[in-house]
Each structure stands twice: as C-alpha cells, then as structure tokens.
Amino acid sequence: MPDVPVPERPANLNRAFVLWLVIGGLTEIDMVRTVRVWWPFLVPVLLLAGCAGDPPPSPPPAPPALTLDQQAAWAFASADPCAFVAGEAEPKTTRYCVVRLPGGSAAKVALGGFGHAGRKAAKAVTIGELLAYQRAADGACETAFPLSFTKAVMVTTPGACAPGEPNLVAAARKLRGDLDALARPAPVNPVTRWDLCELLTTALRLEPDPSGPPSPDSEQGCSNQFGVAGPSLRVTVRPGASVAPAGPPGPDEVSLGDVNARVSEEVSPPGVDLPPTCGLRWDEGAVGGPAAGVYELSLATETRCAEAVNQAKAVRSTLRNAPGPPRPKTLGITPDQPDEASPAACRIVDEPAPGCRAAVPAEVPRGADAIMTAGSENADILCTMLAAGIRQAAVGEPRVANNVTGCVGTYGDASMTVELKLAGYSPSATPEPVTLGGLPGFAENYGTARFVDLSPYRDLARPASVRLSVNASIPDPPAESLAVADRIATAIGAAYFG
C-alpha cells in the first residue's frame, strides 16, 4: 500500500498537544487531584495554547512604482491637452489643443516627443516642483515638462519666458498632484488611447520599417513607418458635437458599418506604371467634455479602395480594444531626478555616444606620437587639451564632456559647441590652407560650422590630424564666431605640439 502523507498539524495544535502530554505524565490519582486544584487555571492555559497561533501573515508587497515610460503612457492615453491651461479650448487632435486666454491671446498645449536635442536647445528651469525646459520662439515661450526621457507636455505661452508665468505654474501643480483635473471626461473616446502607429501595426499586422524616416508629427499621425508604399493614418478634429447616424452611402462614400467614409481613389492611366492610391476619411466619435468636436480619421494607402475599406474596418475593430495604462500618482520629473539617459554633463553634446560622461582632468603626454596614441584611447586627455585651449583663447570658462571618441566643449551661453578629435585627414575639394600654433593644415566653413585639421607631425603627407571644429546653434553665425576655431586651435598647437 503506498505511503499516504500525513498532513502537518498547525502550530497552535502542536503547543496544546505538548501541554497535554505533560499533564498526561501524571498518575491517575495525581491527575484527579491536579485537575481539581488547577482546573480553574488550566482551562485558560489550554485555551491560550490552542488559540495563540502564528502572527498574521504579512500584507502582500506593494506593487512596484511605475516607470517614467509607464507614467508617460498614461498621460498620452488619458490626459486631455485642453485641461492643462484654463481658457476656451479648441482641440485640434487627440494630443494638441489651442486654448484662448483672456485678452485674446492663445496658449498651445501638446503631448509629444522631447529628447536630447530639445533639452540641448533650451534652458533648464524649475516650475513649481518640476523640472522644465524653456526657449524663446517667435515672440512666445515654449516650455516642456518632461514626462520621461523621450516624451513631454509642451506648453507655448505668449510673451517672454518666465518660470513664474501663472499658466505654467498651474500646469505644474496639476501634473504634480491633481491628475483628476487632467483626465479626459468620461466616456473616453478610444481614439485618444492609441498611438496611431501602434494602431496600424496591431490592426493590419504590419511590421514597421526601421529605415523609414519618422513622421514629422509622429504623435498626431503615423506615416513612413511601413515602407514607402505602406499605409498612413492621421487624426484631426472637425467642428461638430456628434456623429450623425450613417445613411445610405453617397456617390463619393463607402460604408464602414455604422459610419460612412468619404473616399478618393486615383488609378494611373494605361501605360503609366504607378500604383493606385486610396484615401478614406470618416468620423470616429465626439471629443467629449466641454470642447465640442468630432475626431476624424484619415487612412491613405497605395492600394485599390476595396482593399483600403477592409483596412479601415480592421482599424475600427481594433480601436475598441484600446490599451489602458495604469494611472500614476503624479506626473513629471523633479530637478533631482535624471531626465535622460546621458548624464547632465553630456547635455552640450549634439549626439551623446554610449558611455558619454563628464570629463576628468588627465595628464597630457609630451610629443606628437604619445599624444596621438594616448588621446585615441582616453578622451579625457583631449578634454584637458580642449579646456586649456578655450581658456587660452579667452572666450569663456570651458565646460567639457568625454564623448568616448572625442571631447566636446562649450563656453559662455553655450551657443557655440567645440569638438576636438584625432583623425585621419580627408581634405575637401577646396580646402583653405592654414598654419595655426606652428602646425600646418587646412580649414573650411560648412553651414554653421568651421572645421580645422592640423598635422601634429608638421607633415601633410601623413594621414593624421588634430581635428577641431566649432558649430553655432544659430543660423548664419557671424564670421568672428566661427573664427574662434582658429584661436582655440592655435592655443592647442602651441601648447602641446610646439
């Protein structure tokens, strides 16, 4: 007969059993006497022994805190862009709203992408409890409240930039503790919960083309993500309060079930080898809340319209299964939190390399061979040379970052970026001969930048150069700004290769 496992007794029964064995060790007469004498005391003892069990189980661990990406996902799916600023709202898309302010001016609010380039071009400020970035643009101020490393709420207000601007302070307060005021009013249109590229991928089972350029307004629409001939999808808001029930389709309409789509089809004439194209536009429900408007979706494909109609029906069917990201307690990033993958010292770099970091002082070896070898292995050496060159050129106090393969620096208001690298020289068709700091080389201006290549060996036939470049952050920089490259290169050449 197989062994049958005996269930383990609870701990409280074990205690009672042990106490009973102790009592059971007495003789029968002793037990009678003991029970008579001690019975009033034994009863509560036995009860305590049987009832005093293990401590109650610990409560389940709290769910992990939401990541910044998860918080941003909730904002993009559930926050109403018209709710960040008080005024008369005019929704334009699911994530873009114009708000009319008292006095006739307007504020613009958008939830969109915001990465390293946006941070580099703006000034970091603190608004309320939150980190924000501001820059002046066409008589207005663009303020970005980062939600994650790549996404932000962007508020454009009239006038000069000021962290204390009341509309911005109010927006920061809502982000930090009043998400009820930002949430879209119920019922929420499922269109708002979707990233349109994700919607197309899910509905049509497409694979995004990694070589395709991003959409110019990737947060409001999706195009160029599925190859040149792939579909594109956009959302806009048209005036109106509701969607009229669909009747029989008109001459330029097709039925999508409960709505009709306006259709336009182009087919190439015989002898012209171009694919057909089809465009469909249909209403997908009211915006909701105090702002009147109807979301209109536009699907464009390089197919005949019969196939485009099937794609539109698949999109509409998928819309109903909108994702629902968990709701965070607050949104935004505080000044003491990292707000992008690269460290703050690399904010001056246009494209930080993996491993970019703040530079540390390093000893520069003597001699061209030693510098070219050691500097290729340790960009801190280049940063020490670049910082000294900026100081010697008397343009300002340097700030430098080790970008792994070179050193990037700036000074003053950071409108000029300086980079020092060691490279082989590939002269352009029309280089400008120069001699700087005793080193021969070539220089050329290109757009907003000036490049200087100097031979550390004073021999232009050897394929090695100390390459220094300056790049202005403003269009059409004055010549004297770019000439800084020659002054810094002269200082470096004289100090380390003289």
Return d(Cα 449, Cα 482) in angstroms, integer.
Answer: 7
pLDDT at 82: 93
The model's pLDDT over 158-182, given as tens digits with 9 standing for 90+, comes to 999 999 999 999 999 999 988 999 9
Which two tokens mark 234? 């956009």
- Please, where are the H alpha helices in 141-279? 166-177, 179-182, 196-204
pLDDT at 427: 56
18 pLDDT higher than 80:
no
Provide DSSP, 4-38: -PPPPPPHHHHHHHHHHHHHHTS-HHHHHHHHHHH
Share of the chain above pLDDT 90, in %: 51
Return d(Cα 177, Cα 182) in angstroms, integer.
Answer: 10
Q: Is the pTM of this model over 0.85?
A: no
Q: What are the CB-based long-range contacts (under 8 Å, 24+) for 140-145?
A: 141/165, 143/168, 144/114, 144/118, 145/171, 145/172, 145/175, 145/332
Task: Tell which residue, 319, 298, 296, 322, has the closest CA to residue 308.
Answer: 298
pLDDT at 429: 55
pLDDT at 103: 85
Least confident range from 77-81, 252-256, 272-276, 298-302: namely 272-276
483 pLDDT higher than 50:
yes
127 pLDDT higher than 90:
yes
Binned at pLDDT 50, 70 and 90, residue 151 comes out as very high
In 3-state terms, what secondary structure has residue 83? helix
39 pLDDT higher than 70:
no
Binned at pLDDT 50, 70 and 90, residue 14 comes out as very low
Q: How many CB atoms lie within 10 A of CB 3?
A: 5
Binned at pLDDT 50, 70 and 90, residue 269 comes out as confident
Higher-confidence position of 121 and 389: 389
227 pLDDT higher than 80:
no
- Please, where are the H alpha helices in 126-259? 166-177, 179-182, 196-204
Compute the C-alpha angle 409/411/415, nearest 5°: 95
291 pLDDT higher than 90:
no
- Please, where are the H alpha helices in 156-205? 166-177, 179-182, 196-204
User: Which residues are registered as beta bridge partners of 125?
Assistant: 132
| Arithmetic mean of pLDDT over the chain | 83
pLDDT at 28: 45
pLDDT at 21: 38
Q: Which residues contact 200 (CB under 8 A, 6 or more apart)?
A: 206, 222, 225, 226, 231, 233, 315
Amino acid at 365: P
pLDDT at 135: 94
Return d(Cα 121, Cα 473) in angstroms, integer.
Answer: 8
Which residues in 292-321 are b (16+ Cβ under 10 Å) and which e?
Answer: bbbbbbbbbbbbebeebbebbebbbebbee
17 pLDDT higher than 80:
no
**Helix, strand, coil percent content, the chain, rounded in steps of 5:** 30, 25, 45
Least confident range from 235-244, 361-370, 371-380: namely 235-244
The mean per-residue pLDDT over the stretch 134-149 comes to 94
Return d(Cα 476, Cα 449) in angstroms, integer.
Answer: 10
Q: How many CB atoms lie within 10 A of CB 154?
A: 23
pLDDT at 307: 93
Which residues in 442-472 are b (16+ Cβ under 10 Å) and which e?
Answer: bbbeeebbbbbbbbbeeebeeebbbbbbbbb
27 pLDDT higher than 50:
no
Least confident range from 95-109, 165-179, 271-285: namely 271-285
Residue with tokens 């062994």, as numbered in its chain? 3
The mean per-residue pLDDT over the stretch 65-69 comes to 91
User: Which residues are registered as beta bridge partners of 468?
Assistant: 420, 452
pLDDT at 217: 45
Task: Tell which residue, 155, 161, 163, has the closest CA to residue 128.
Answer: 163
pLDDT at 385: 97
The model's pLDDT over 178-223, given as tens digits with 9 standing for 90+, comes to 899 999 887 888 998 888 888 988 999 887 665 544 444 444 678 7
